[in-house]
Structure 1
Amino acid sequence: MHPNCSSNAVKGSLKTDFCSSNPNKLNHVTIVKNWHLSIVLPVVLALAADPIASLVDTAFVGHLGSVELAAVGVSVSIFNLVSRLFNVPLLNITTSFVAEEQALISKSKDDGGFEHQGKKVLPSVSTSLALADGLRIAEAVVLSVILGFLMNIMGIPMDSSMCGPAEQFLTWRAFGAPPVVIALATQGTFRGFKDTKTPLYAIGKYYSMPYVSSAGTLLNAILDVILIFPFGFGVGGAVVATVISEYLIAIILLWELNGKVELISPKIDWSKVSLYLKFGTFLVDRTIATLGTLTLATSLEARQGPIPMAGHQICVQIWLVVSLLTDALALSGQALLATNYSQANYQQARKVIYSVLKQIGLATGFPLAVFLFIGFEALSGLFTTDAEVLQIAWSGTLSQPVNAIAFVLHGLYYGVSDYEYVAVSMVVVGLISSAFLLVAAPLFSVGGVWNGLFLFMTLRVVAGFWR
């Protein structure tokens, strides 16, 4: 019998696999099947809601014209730069900390001190929500105060035809920053519990229909149809629809979390606060390196005019949807890995790593690449009928195997809280890729930009395996 089989944190089907009669052999197929049924599939469906909503917006805005589509592309890039700078550290650290705290509580014999009035009391949850409360205000202020400065950096001067729609989009989008932060903090908590179904139910509409399109995405699509065309709000209608749907999602998630956990803990673990700040600093560095490279690519496209930027926006949206779906796999592996690593079950943790990389990363990345290769023309036709824009949008859609492995590798590093290595490696990768972009974009236009992004993802994979 495996020496760690006595731990009551390893339960159900995972315990059967980890504690088999042969401790040196793990049933990878069974684990992956269980992950897809209990963890991975709900995460994929829940994470799909936001990028699908962006795709819906892009599809409707694309029919307003190439200028509007290009303006939204620049605006989304600016919003992501500010939003993810704060949100990515919060989501990933919350997932790992809650998973580790849950595992340690499960392993202890005395659980009585971790409940209050039938709800769990976890300092990591209260800490993450308190930080989210501060971050939501900071994001809204940053987006409102330095809007013009950010647009200039992105290559959109005041006399540009893209300036008006982009400014309108970002002004309204700033109001949507607070619910996004709160929603990510609550989702990180549920994933730390390895409960990926509750966010799916909360975002995904009805308990009796858990695998339907999300309520937020559905509401966003309905409001897009109403506000953009019949009411004539244009780009403003698209962003208002998105903001309303995000508030709906945040309210539902907080309501669900409040039924399970004390949102305001009677005791504050200040050591957790310091760890959040320490690891958060590493992840902010990592996020700056990542988004800095992606924002540079968008800026270089924007400087070439509305047509190249519109094509870039279509390609980026399709690319991001598939990339975020693979990121869901990384988040699922992160929670499982954090649980085993915190309990010093290193052999089981190693098996989780191999399973995620071989059975999930590669098996998901290649089919997605084939799907994009076959279906890109039909997908891109939903966004615009401009032949020149569609020709440009073809660039850079076949890198999904590399993307999938890169996202999964980073999720595994988060699972063992090795944030420092992720930060340092991403800074190096970002600097190399940015230098390539600055040289290649003026020479090869769109091709140079997407070759630079492919180099960026490839170097992420190399850095991931280097460790």
Structure 2
Amino acid sequence: MTNNHQEETEGVATILGDPKKAVLKLSGPMIIAMLITSLYNLVDSVWVAGLGEGALAAIGFVTPVFLVVIGFSNGLGAGATSVISRFIGAKNKKEADNAALHIMLLTIIFTIIIMVSLGMFLRPILEILGSGTTIELGLQYGNIVFGGVFFIIFTSAAYGILRAEGNVKKTTYAMAFGAILNIILDPIFIYTLGFGIAGAAIATVLSLAVVSFIILYWFRGDTYINISPKNFKYSTDTIKKILEVGLPAGAEFLVIAILAGTLNIILVLVSGTDAVAIYSAGWRVVIIAIVPIISVSISVVAIIGASFGARKYENFTIIQNYSIKLGTLIAIITAVTTFILAPYIADIFTYSPETMGLGPLITDFLRVMCLFYIFVPVGSVATSVFQGVGKGFNSLILTIIRELLLAVVFAYILAIPLGMGQQGVWWGIVIGNIFGSIIAYLWSKMYIGRLTNIKDEEEEIEII
């Protein structure tokens, strides 16, 4: 089907319509897509675990670096969603198309910066993170994955553009297909072809490359946004608007990466590399558990952005409250399920003789994290509100408070001075998240209140 790029699509009608329906309609497909993607991450860990504890730990040490790359890629996607959805809300189709082309320009720039940086500094970074004897395995994996960084950045940016126009179906199809393809390719490259840990990286890059070409085909005429080069008109202001959300959103992942690296160092100090393997494996399960919650929050960015562009500020409270209620319900169900199934989930990572002894420790980790799930909706929805209105710096500040000023401090105090060891790290993550989420919620409510008051005052002046 060919879209003339002028008609209002179903997705655009959704984000501009009833806010509660929009949250449900956008969240559902996103949950499915991200669950499948996260399932891939879990399966990837399972396949790598078969190579031994060293390979699993090596990926754990690469993870903080990978999070930085994924972070700035997703940050670019968040910038795309925020800016384009605001233009759509303001009924400015021409600027929405132009913003999408600026996203493509930034994709190329980010690719060059990341490839050059990691090509020069990956080894010293892994050494600083304490990878020790696993460094060569880490380099085998990291060099290949980061060599295909263009596909990582492009797909994230493209997903952001599709979400901005409410086109979650295509986002779901692309993410799900890429993850399933990756799951199929993993055992082939790791074991059948004998590439080991490098095979996992090759499978990742190949699957992302295939998805990238599919998305490019869609952008030729099957989406609301038109990314034809003839529509490009360079605008420093557009770049600024994208980066005002994109850079802080990317830096949030950098903060999370610093958190992961710092926690790895603390874990090595109190329990050795075994604790890093536990954290690496267990955290992948946590990521899957909070995927539905994060999916709801990601959907909020586009809906808030469209409402902001249309000056429907009264929708903000409805969107936030409904999203938190939905996310919390999902979190409670997920927490209970995880607590019950924790021993069986741990068995998935400990099927090889090298990792068998980690089972009970992974179980303990997962059960502590169940409390972590409950407060994620409150904090994640609040940050999405700020991203949707273009206040990316506010979102970044909240992440720094939650992850560095709270989680790391609590983890350190509980693990070392109070002598709780790795259990102290687990509880530090939980306590930091609880306090950080409460702060985020209160700040976002204050912002929404001020924004609504300003609109009321402007309307009163117009009436007078």
- For structure 2, the 5+ residue unaligned runs are 1-8, 444-464
Q: Which amino acid aligns with 2:237?
A: S
Shift of 1:12: 6.4
CA distance in 2, matches of 1:256, 1:55: 29
Give the match for residue 132 of structure 1: 107
CA distance in 1, matches of 2:162, 2:69: 24
CA distance in 2, matches of 1:350, 1:275: 24
CA distance in 2, matches of 1:280, 1:12: 25
Q: Deviations over 1:225-256 (max 9, x none)?
A: 22222322221111211111111122212221
CA distance in 1, matches of 2:247, 2:136: 35
Q: Which amino acid aligns with 2:406?
A: I
Give the match for residue 267 of structure 2: 301
Shift of 1:309: 1.8
Give the match for residue 435 of structure 1: 409
Matches within 5 A, 1:79-228: 79-84=66-71, 86-105=72-91, 114=94, 122-157=97-132, 160=133, 162-203=134-175, 214-228=176-190
Shift of 1:42: 1.3
Give the match for residue 257 of structure 1: 219
Give the match for residue 418 of structure 1: 391
Structure 1 residue 454 corresponds to structure 2 residue 413: no
Structure 1 residues 217 and 424: alpha-carbon distance in aligned structure 2, compared to 1, 3 A threshold: closer
Structure 1 residues 296 and 354: alpha-carbon distance in aligned structure 2, compared to 1, 3 A threshold: same
Q: Deviations over 1:325-369 (max 9, x none)?
A: 3211111122111111221112223211221112x1211111111
Structure 1 residue 238 corresponds to structure 2 residue 200: yes
Structure 1 residues 155 and 172: alpha-carbon distance in aligned structure 2, compared to 1, 3 A threshold: same
Structure 1 residues 447 and 155: alpha-carbon distance in aligned structure 2, compared to 1, 3 A threshold: same
Q: Deviations over 1:293-326 (max 9, x none)?
A: 2321133334543322221111111011222332
> What TM-score do you get using the length of structure 2 for normalisation?
0.84
Percent identity between matched residues is 19
Structure 1 residue 361 corresponds to structure 2 residue 323: no
Structure 1 residues 16 and 316: alpha-carbon distance in aligned structure 2, compared to 1, 3 A threshold: closer
- Alignment coverage as a number of residue pairs: 421
Q: Deviations over 1:63-113 (max 9, x none)?
A: 2211221112212232113431x223212111111101111126xxxx7xx
Contact 2:101–2:227 (Cα < 8 Å) also in 1: yes
CA distance in 1, matches of 2:249, 2:316: 22
Q: Which amino acid aligns with 1:377?
A: P
Contact 1:81–1:295 (Cα < 8 Å) also in 2: no
Contact 1:94–1:185 (Cα < 8 Å) also in 2: yes
CA distance in 2, matches of 1:314, 1:365: 20
Q: Which amino acid aligns with 2:98?
A: P
Contact 1:440–1:448 (Cα < 8 Å) also in 2: yes
> What TM-score do you get using the length of structure 1 for normalisation?
0.83
Structure 1 residue 275 corresponds to structure 2 residue 249: no
Structure 1 residues 90 and 151: alpha-carbon distance in aligned structure 2, compared to 1, 3 A threshold: same
Structure 1 residue 403 corresponds to structure 2 residue 365: no
CA distance in 1, matches of 2:228, 2:171: 16
Give the match for residue 391 of structure 1: 360
Q: Deviations over 1:185-241 (max 9, x none)?
A: 1100011001111112233xxxxxxxxxx2222222222222222322221111211
Contact 1:202–1:256 (Cα < 8 Å) also in 2: no
Q: Which amino acid aligns with 1:317?
A: R
SS in 1 for 2:186: helix
CA distance in 2, matches of 1:336, 1:65: 45
Structure 1 residues 465 and 202: alpha-carbon distance in aligned structure 2, compared to 1, 3 A threshold: closer
CA distance in 1, matches of 2:440, 2:163: 23
Counterpart selection for 1:53 from 30, 40, 62: 40
CA distance in 2, matches of 1:97, 1:69: 39
SS in 1 for 2:311: coil
Q: Which amino acid aligns with 2:369?
A: T
Shift of 1:175: 1.8
Q: Which amino acid aligns with 1:335?
A: A
Structure 1 residues 80 and 68: alpha-carbon distance in aligned structure 2, compared to 1, 3 A threshold: same
Q: Which amino acid aligns with 2:116?
A: V
Q: Which amino acid aligns with 2:38?
A: P
Give the match for residue 5 of structure 1: none
Contact 2:181–2:207 (Cα < 8 Å) also in 1: yes
**RMSD, matched Cα:** 2.6
Contact 1:139–1:178 (Cα < 8 Å) also in 2: no
Structure 1 residue 289 corresponds to structure 2 residue 255: yes
Q: Deviations over 1:130-156 (max 9, x none)?
A: 101111222222222111111122112
Give the match for residue 444 of structure 1: 420
Structure 1 residues 411 and 299: alpha-carbon distance in aligned structure 2, compared to 1, 3 A threshold: same
